[in-house]
């Protein structure tokens, strides 16, 4: 080989170099997508949910939202879900519907189909809710931290509804719609009552199965002027 003459790479070497560069680029793109899906969508959803929550509380303080009743316009949200097991200050706005565009707002949604949810103030029925497990606020990300006996509290304009968890189903088919029946027989109950059901996807970062938590109303507490939370949230 003559000194000073550049070394020519063969065709195979050039192909390997190009493929390597493409793989690096693909890896960077994939990493950015993961960051967007699991972090940035949470940031955006949390901002949206905070604005919506402020709007609902402002409406309540101004008395522009009527007392809970059937037919109430719920486009802005009907109240707030509090679950101490998922965080000391855990609070999520509850809105109508479980479609992706609703849950992507960083809220929990109540079911409208196949079986419409009962409202907490109804004399009987199942208040059935869903929220994302990851991304878009991930409001039910820590649902696995809820155990039998834990309190779940729903806050409306004028009443605190205190439920007690009595059954957790950590995996069932995502097509198992019976878990949201008004009498959730799959949870062991066989007669009408005032129930709450939380549902989300599982395992984390997948939508292969459904995770379910059932609770039953144990008492209510009227909201006072200071909106003093019930003992379960202190």
Percent of the chain whose predicted confidence (pLDDT) is above 90 = 70
Q: What is the pLDDT of residue 18?
A: 57
Q: What is the pLDDT of residue 68?
A: 47
CA angle 183, 123, 191 (to 5 degrees): 30
DSSP β-ladder status, 92-96 and 108-110: parallel
The two most distant CA atoms of the chain are separated, in Å, by 94
For residue range 189-213, list pLDDT tens digits in order: 999 999 999 999 999 989 999 999 9
Structure tokens that stand for 123 in this block: 């004399």
For residue range 100-132, list pLDDT tens digits in order: 999 999 999 999 999 999 999 999 999 999 999
Q: What is the pLDDT of residue 74?
A: 64
Q: Nearest Cα to 195, choosing from 114, 113, 131, 110?
A: 110
Q: What is the pLDDT of residue 176?
A: 97
Q: What is the pLDDT of residue 56?
A: 94
For residue range 147-174, list pLDDT tens digits in order: 999 999 999 999 999 999 999 999 999 9
CA distances from 172 to 87, 169, 186 (A): 25, 7, 11
Q: How far apart (Å, rounded) are the C-alpha atoms in residues 76 and 125? A: 23
Q: The whole model's pTM is what?
A: 0.82
The set of catalytic residues is: 201
Q: What is the pLDDT of residue 33?
A: 42
31 CB neighbour count, 10 Å cutoff: 10
Q: 20: Cβ–Cβ under 8 A, 6 or more apart, which residues?
A: none
Domains and CATH numbers, the chain: 40-233 (2.40.260.10)
Higher pLDDT, 193 or 3: 193
For residue range 49-63, list pLDDT tens digits in order: 999 999 999 999 887
Structure tokens that stand for 2 in this block: 């003559």
């Amino acid at each position: 080989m003559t000194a000073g003459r550049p070394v020519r790479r063969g065709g195979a070497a050039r192909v390997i170099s190009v493929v390597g560069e493409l793989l690096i680029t693909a890896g960077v793109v994939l990493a950015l997508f993961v960051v967007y899906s699991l972090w940035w969508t949470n940031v955006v959803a949390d901002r949206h949910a905070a604005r919506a929550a402020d709007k609902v509380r402002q409406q309540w303080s101004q008395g522009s939202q009527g007392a809970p009743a059937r037919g109430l316009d719920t486009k802005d949200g009907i109240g707030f879900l509090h679950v101490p097991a998922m965080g000391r200050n855990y609070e999520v706005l509850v809105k109508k519907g479980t479609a992706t565009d609703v849950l992507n707002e960083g809220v929990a949604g109540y079911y409208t189909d196949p079986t419409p949810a009962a409202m907490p103030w109804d004399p009987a029925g199942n208040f059935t809710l869903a929220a994302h497990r990851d991304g878009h606020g991930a409001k039910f990300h820590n649902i696995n931290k809820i155990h039998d006996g834990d309190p779940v509290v729903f806050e409306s304009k004028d009443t605190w509804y205190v439920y007690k968890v009595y059954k957790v189903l950590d995996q069932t088919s995502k097509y198992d719609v019976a878990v949201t029946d008004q009498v959730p027989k799959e949870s062991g109950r066989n007669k009408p009552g005032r129930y709450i059901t939380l549902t989300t996807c599982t395992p984390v970062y997948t939508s292969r199965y459904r995770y379910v938590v059932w609770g039953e109303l144990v008492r209510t507490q009227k909201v006072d002027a200071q909106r003093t939370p019930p003992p379960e949230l202190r």
